[in-house]
């Protein structure tokens, strides 16, 4: 029995006036996902537990069957796990975005989706200038990086409150700076980063090229090391995670799944869809389970870019879903599950907590006959799951 979970990050959306009141998923050409809806079941699942902030960290943990209210260590520790950063029990880990701020407003949460090569040099410079025995910066991918604060009795981050930069686009940053005990320490580091980054030659070149400079860091997503039960112990399956995003890879590594790094997988519009699909098939030839995550749909939502979101949905359907579904249909017994981790509506340009539509097809799954995979079709279904754990338990037939 082969199992595949395919996740187009943030694909779910709201009706859009320019699409005559339809969502991007309703308008996009998605013959392969429609086939799954037609030959399987469609429904809704709540991936964001009530009271938690909607994000890919919480949602992907939930989809994999882990209760975020119990098992969520914070975004930073999950990304650190993928980067192989060794943590002591009392260390604190922060997600460290390279952002663009002009006139004290958040202009760009990704510094124009800065390249990994450019970002690597900037983060290493920050570590040389600001790093010490207490704090250290670690380069990740594109704008996504890590800062670790070693255990120190002078700092208390237990109740610190931070805000994701993609949630405050075009807003004044003052209201959203860290709050709580030891917040001043974090704010001071963020201010010092401006002095280091604005004068860096990489940003001088980016400005000359009319690209957004990475002119400061933004700290958020804090947490501490946590040990999660392994996926194999929970479900008796071996497999792998395929993603361009350190967060999702970090979740996979934390639960004992293999991590497959695909050349050209960028976490943006230009990601290597073909490479991800090929890698997924190679995983399934040797294992029971694969989890494929694509970030492009989410990035388009954050950017408010309807055209790119439609293209990303169609590429996901054609290349990821199409190739993997055709492979599974030739192998024998299988089950395939497709769902966004959360909604990232074009009109909001940030995450929403709404239940997301899922489709599931395979052995012993009753045909629903639904013609189109969409939010509206899912809303009319009686297949409703109140948590990611409920859904994956049904998908894997766990009692």
For residues 262 and 357, state if they share a domain: yes
For residues 108 and 55, state if they share a domain: no
For residues 279 and 368, state if they share a domain: yes
Q: Which of 223, 238, 273 is the last residue of a domain?
A: 223
Predicted pLDDT at 398: 62
In a domain, 22, yes or no: yes
Q: Which of 185, 204, 223 is the last residue of a domain?
A: 223
pTM exceeds 0.85: yes
Residues in the chain where the model's pLDDT stays below 70: 398-399
Predicted pLDDT at 207: 96
In a domain, 111, yes or no: yes
For residues 359 and 235, state if they share a domain: yes
In a domain, 126, yes or no: yes
Q: Do 340 and 388 touch, CB atoms closer than 8 A? A: no
Predicted pLDDT at 399: 46
Of 273, 262, 258, 97, the closest CA to residue 176 belongs to 97
Phi, psi angle pair for 338, to nearest 5°: -125, 130
Edge-first strand order for the sheet with 289-294 is 258-260, 239-242, 289-294, 2-8, 334-338, 356-362, 41-45, 384-385
* 10-46 pLDDT, tens digit each: 999 999 999 999 999 999 999 999 999 999 999 999 9
For residues 191 and 232, state if they share a domain: no
Distance (Å, whole) CA 231 – CA 64: 8
Torsion of CA 315, 320, 321, 323, to 10 degrees: 110
For residues 278 and 370, state if they share a domain: yes
Contacts (Cβ under 8 Å, ≥6 apart) of 326? none
Q: Do 212 and 261 touch, CB atoms closer than 8 A? A: no
The DSSP bridge pattern shows strands 105-108 and 41-45 to be unpaired
For residues 240 and 340, state if they share a domain: yes
For residues 59 and 141, state if they share a domain: no
Q: Which of 193, 223, 253 is the last residue of a domain?
A: 223
Phi, psi angle pair for 9, to nearest 5°: -55, 130
For residues 231 and 213, state if they share a domain: no
Predicted pLDDT at 276: 98
Contacts (Cβ under 8 Å, ≥6 apart) of 210? none
In a domain, 179, yes or no: yes
Of 85, 92, 207, 79, the closest CA to residue 143 belongs to 79
Q: Which H/E stretch holds residue 186? A: helix 183-198
**3-class DSSP string for 315-353:** HHHHHHHHHHHHHHHHHCCEEEEECCCCECCCCCCCCEC
Q: Do 227 and 206 touch, CB atoms closer than 8 A? A: no
In a domain, 107, yes or no: yes
Domain span at 334: 2-72+227-395
For residues 216 and 261, state if they share a domain: no
* 232-284 pLDDT, tens digit each: 999 999 999 999 999 999 999 999 999 999 999 999 999 999 999 999 999 99
Of 395, 393, 376, 270, the closest CA to residue 12 belongs to 376
Q: Do 247 and 75 touch, CB atoms closer than 8 A? A: yes
Cα dist. 29→2, 279, 315, 358, 372 in Å?
27, 24, 9, 17, 10
Predicted pLDDT at 151: 86
Distance (Å, whole) CA 279 – CA 249: 14
**What is the SS3 assignment for 286?**
helix
For residues 43 and 129, state if they share a domain: no
Count of domains for the chain? 2
Residue 352 belongs to domain with CATH number: 3.40.720.10
Predicted pLDDT at 178: 97
In a domain, 247, yes or no: yes
In a domain, 77, yes or no: no
For residues 235 and 379, state if they share a domain: yes
């Amino acid at each position: 029995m082969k199992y595949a979970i395919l996740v187009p990050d943030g694909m779910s959306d709201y009706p859009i006036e320019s699409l005559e009141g339809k969502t991007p998923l309703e308008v996009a050409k998605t013959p392969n996902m429609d086939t799954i809806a037609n030959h399987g079941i469609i429904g809704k699942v709540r991936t964001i537990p009530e009271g938690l902030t909607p994000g890919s960290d919480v949602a992907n943990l939930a989809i994999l069957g882990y209760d975020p209210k119990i098992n969520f260590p914070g975004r930073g520790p999950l990304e650190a796990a993928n980067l192989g950063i060794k943590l002591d029990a009392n260390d604190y880990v922060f997600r460290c975005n390279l952002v663009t701020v002009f006139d004290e407003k958040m202009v760009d949460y990704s510094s124009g989706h800065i390249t990994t090569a450019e970002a690597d040099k900037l983060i290493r410079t920050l570590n040389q200038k600001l790093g010490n025995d207490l704090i250290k910066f670690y380069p990740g991918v594109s704008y996504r990086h890590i800062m670790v604060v070693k255990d120190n009795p002078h700092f208390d981050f237990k109740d610190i409150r931070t805000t994701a930069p993609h949630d405050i686009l075009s807003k004044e940053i003052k209201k959203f700076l860290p709050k709580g005990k030891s917040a001043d320490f974090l704010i001071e580091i963020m201010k010092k980063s401006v002095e280091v980054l604005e004068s860096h030659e990489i940003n001088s070149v980016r400005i000359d090229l009319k690209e957004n400079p990475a002119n400061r860091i933004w700290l958020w997503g804090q947490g501490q090391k946590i040990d999660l039960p392994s996926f194999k112990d929970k479900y008796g399956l071996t497999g792998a995670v395929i993603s361009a995003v350190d967060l999702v890879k970090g979740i996979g590594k934390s639960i004992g799944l293999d991590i497959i790094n695909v050349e050209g997988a960028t976490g943006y519009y230009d990601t290597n869809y073909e490479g991800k699909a090929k890698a997924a098939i190679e995983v399934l030839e040797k294992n029971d389970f694969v989890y494929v995550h694509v970030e492009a749909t989410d990035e388009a939502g954050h950017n408010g870019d309807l055209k790119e979101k439609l293209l990303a949905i169609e590429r996901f359907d054609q290349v990821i879903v199409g190739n993997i579904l055709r492979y599974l249909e030739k192998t024998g017994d299988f089950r395939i599950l497709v769902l966004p981790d959360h909604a990232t509506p074009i009109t909001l340009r940030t995450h929403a907590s709404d239940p997301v539509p899922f489709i599931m097809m395979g052995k012993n799954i009753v045909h629903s006959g639904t013609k189109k995979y969409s939010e509206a079709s899912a809303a009319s279904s009686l297949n409703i799951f109140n948590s990611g754990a409920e859904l994956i338990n049904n998908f894997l037939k766990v009692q």
